[in-house]
Amino acid sequence: MNQLFYGDNLDVLREHIAENAVDLIYLDPPFQSNKDYNILFSEQDGTRAAAQIKAFGDTWKWDIASAEIFAETVDRGGQVSVAMQAFRTLLGGSDMLAYLSMMAPHLVELQRVLKPTDSIYLHCDPTASHYLKILMDSVFGPGNFRNEIIWHYRKWPAGKYTFQRNHDVIFFYSNSDTKDRTFNQLYMERAASTLKRFGTAKIVSGHDEYGNRVPSETLEEDSEGVRMDDVWDIGRVPPIKQLYPTQKPLPLLERILEASSNKDQVVLDPFCGCGTAIVAAQGLGRHWIGIDITHLAVGLIKHRLQGAFLGKAAYEVTGEPVSLPDAQKLAADDKYQFEAWALGLVGARTNDKKKGADKGIDGRLFFHDERDASATKRIILSVKGGSIPANHMRELRGVIDREEAEIGVLLTLQKPTKPMRHEAADAGFYDSPWGSRHPRLQILTIEELLGGSRIDYPRTNANSTFKKADKYSDAPVENLEFKFDSQIDEETDTESEPPSNW
């Protein structure tokens, strides 16, 4: 069964994934993404929640915790220990050393769960790529390095005093030097000059008198094309189209999966974000394991799988609350994760709090209930994991009026009091254009949500809370490449933070 894990990926790897259980690993560990991820977990006073500090590598600092991880890695010995000691000499007690100290045990565990005949792809920022390659050499062996893939894309220029950075680095390693490793040769289209001279016929090379290879014969049959090189021109996902910060394009992941896995093999993504690798694996007939430490990401993956495969993607979720005691524990451990999880139960997204106080709004739902979908209707949500102030329902009613929203909903761990129910009843109803009636102020307990209850509002196919997850196409990989490069809009596609309504 496909598995989606909520939790710390190092813990999940050690506790749930057996040795030699995985056929292909793709990981895109976060680095220097502070400007993007702050919008998810920022407090109104500018501080960051503990969940973010734990979840994202860009927030790792060289401190006691990082020093302990470094010491544990060094104490285990081996080439990884040698590499980390060298990093300490070179980098000192820096944040980069903290990042590498975090990555080292992850890579060791990933090497353990990967089959000897299979491969790993590490996607990284050029800022840290040279250090990570040394770390990969120490874990997998320099002889198992296969390619440094350059993912090239275009975006609107930023900065005046350097060349525009328009690429990411992807390190391709195998887990052994066996010739039996999984690799399916992919092909590119022939260059225009080659097609002009030889058409689509297969070119058979001979040698001239100096021993140089020259085309000496053509066969009247279509060839597969030119073998894929290590520079991939695939358009990135523009910020305005992203489901999640740093989202990678589907064709990029499909290419990796097509090359280094086969149907029914197992693909693992331990930093799965919004789940592009998972969607690619599901669409290409692979089994998959996805891990993420934020409920926001897990909720988005569920939404994306639902939209892409119309509810036909079968998988299990491990680590999420499935009972009231589970939910109570999550609320006590991390109120921000509890909030994201509770909103996910009703298909809502978290409110963008980067600009200051949330003004009584924890999440939003959007819907259309008019025939021409001309007006977007709003549902305001408030989430409470602890005690509820006596006047909270009155305040929520005021927020609905202020925001000119159609419906307001309180999601709560506590059972509502009688005055709270009276306040909700006094708020009246929202009447849809086709005559359906829905309470304007609603209260749903977590226990009710776990039992299947949902918000009472007009249900249409035009719900627009999240950007639409495109239905998955099983067209060949080469026909799925995004054409965003020719659609770049300098007003929207910049290197600034994602728009507030992402």
State the pLDDT at residue 311. 86
Q: Are 462 and 377 in contact (CB under 8 A)?
A: no
Q: Provide the whole-model pTM.
A: 0.77
Burial degree of 384 (CB within 10 A; 0-12, 13-18, 19+): buried
H-helix or E-strand spanning residue 131? helix 126-140
Q: Are 69 and 102 in contact (CB under 8 A)?
A: yes
> The tokens of 314 are what?
């079968």
What is the CA 17 to chain-centroid distance, rounded?
A: 20
Q: Do the strands 287-292 and 266-269 form a parallel or antiparallel pair, or are they unpaired?
A: parallel
Bridge partners (DSSP) listed for residue 363: 350, 381
State the pLDDT at residue 226. 83
Instruction: Put residue 264 in one of left, alpha, beta given phi > 0 → left and psi -120 to 50 → alpha.
Output: left
Concatenate the DSSP letters of all residues of 164-179 into one string: ---EEEEEEEESS--T
State the pLDDT at residue 353. 52
Mean pLDDT, consecutive 10-residue segments, the chain of 502 residues? 93 96 94 44 39 45 88 96 96 90 96 96 90 97 96 80 89 90 88 65 50 50 74 90 84 97 97 94 97 87 90 92 91 88 87 58 89 83 91 93 94 94 94 92 96 89 55 50 31 34 28
Half-sphere exposure of 82 (CA within 13 A, CB side): 7
State the pLDDT at residue 457. 94
State the pLDDT at residue 398. 93
H-helix or E-strand spanning residue 161? none
State the pLDDT at residue 1. 87
- CA separation for the pair 182, 179 (Å, rounded): 9
- CA separation for the pair 196, 199 (Å, rounded): 6
Domains of the chain with CATH codes: 2-48+103-186+228-318 (3.40.50.150), 188-226 (no CATH), 324-450 (3.40.1350.10)
State the pLDDT at residue 368. 87
Burial degree of 366 (CB within 10 A; 0-12, 13-18, 19+): middle
Report the SS3 class of residue 58: helix
Q: Do the strands 22-27 and 266-269 form a parallel or antiparallel pair, or are they unpaired?
A: parallel
State the pLDDT at residue 44. 35
Start-to-end CA distance of the chain, whole Å, equals: 31
State the pLDDT at residue 308. 92
Bridge partners (DSSP) listed for residue 294: none
Contacting residues for 46 by C-beta, under 8 A, at least 6 apart? none
Concatenate the DSSP letters of all residues of 183-231 into one string: ----EEPPPHHHHHHHTTEEEEEEE-TTS-EEEEEEEEEE---EEP-SE
CB atoms within 10 A of CB 376: 11
State the pLDDT at residue 459. 76
